[in-house]
Amino acid sequence: MNARLNFASHSSSLTVAIAAVPTGKYHANADAGVRVTVSPIRKYDNSAIPAWAKACGQYINSARAVNDAQRRGFDEALLLNSRGLVAEGSGENLFVVKNGAITTNDRDDSILMGVTRASVIEIAHDLAIESRVAPISVEDVLGADELFFSGTAVEVTAIREVDGRTIGDGKPGAITRRIQETFNKAVRGELPQYRKWLSFTDVKNPVNC
C-alpha cells in the first residue's frame, strides 16, 4: 500500500460533487432588511488563508462570527479585516450606497471575490448607477444612505440597522431595490441580457443535467 498521510495537497486526488436542494430565504427578515453588528471576530488575513477562495475550513471563521451576532440578537455579522477596515459579512459581500453611488471593497480587503458581487457591479453599470471599488471603513458603513449584502445564498439583501443605528429610513432603499429587482429577474431568466449567467437543467432527467 503506497498511500501517504500528509498536508501536500498536490498529491491528493480531486473529486467534485454538486448538490441542488430547494431552500427558503437565508435570512428570515430579508424582505424588510437585516440587522447586523460589527463583529469582535476578525476576518483572517490573505497572508494566512486566501480569503478570495472558498474552502471548508475557512467557514469556522464565519460560523464564530454569525453565532456571536445571533446570540446578541442580530441577524448577521460584519467582520473587520486585520487593518480594522470592513471586510464582509459571514457569508456575503457588502455594498455601501452613498449619494447615489455604490461602493464595494476588493481582494486586498480579505474578501471572497463573489460571483454575485460581480453580477451586482454589472447590473449597476447597466442601470447607470455609479459604482466603485475601494476600502470601506466602519464610518462609511454607519454613514451610508443604504447598505446591502450580496451572495449566492442571500442574493441581494438590504441592511436596515448596524449596531442599533438605523440606515436611511430603516427600509430597503431605492437603489438597493432597483438592483435587487433586476437581479431577481435575471436569475429567473426574465431578462435576456443576463441569460449568459444561467445554466438550465432538465428536471425530468436530472442525471443528464
Catalytic residue among 25, 54, 171, 204: 54
All cell numbers assigned to 201 = 437543467
| DSSP letter, residue 205 | S
Strand, helix or coil for residue 32: coil
Helical axes 115-126 vs 174-187, angle rounded to 10°: 110
The Cα 155–Cα 152 span in angstroms is 5
C-beta separation of 159 from 148 below 8 A: yes
Active-site annotation holds for 185: no
All cell numbers assigned to 151 = 451572495
Indicate which residues carry an active-site annotation.
Answer: 54
